Amino acid sequence: MHTVSHLQEALHQKEQALIQYIRYMREAQDSGNQEMAALFADLAKAEEKHIAVIRDQVAKNLGEMELLNKYEQVNQYNSQHSTYHHSPEQ
């Protein structure tokens, strides 16, 4: 499913952005620029929220795919082990 793949890619990008914002925040703290450190801290918090939302969507979509796969497995089993026999028309 393309949706899950796109969500996973977005999740990866958000995680990388979070890492960068934390790095920038620490650099700003080290240089004594508290205003920039606070800005990067806010950006990191926003990324954390985005990550949480995307993770929920990935889990939801994977769960739906799992249910679909279960349905397909049951359907395949039933079709292979059917007691229905086609009788020719009279």
pLDDT tens for each residue of 49-62: 999 999 999 888 88
| 87 located within any domain | no
Split into its structural domains, the chain has a count of 1
| 89 located within any domain | no
| 84 located within any domain | no
- 10's enclosing H/E stretch is helix 2-30
| 49 located within any domain | yes
Q: What Å distances lie between residue 11 and 23, 34, 52, CA to CA? A: 18, 28, 9
What is the rounded average pLDDT of the residues 18-28?
97
Compute the distance between CA of residue 38 and CA of residue 79 in angstroms, rounded to an integer. 61
pLDDT at 89 over 70: no
pLDDT computed for residue 84 by the predictor: 46
| 86 located within any domain | no
The CATH number assigned to the domain holding 37 equals 1.20.58
| 46 located within any domain | yes
pLDDT computed for residue 78 by the predictor: 64
Domain extent at residue 11: 2-78
What is the rounded average pLDDT of the residues 32-61?
94
What is the rounded average pLDDT of the residues 58-77?
72
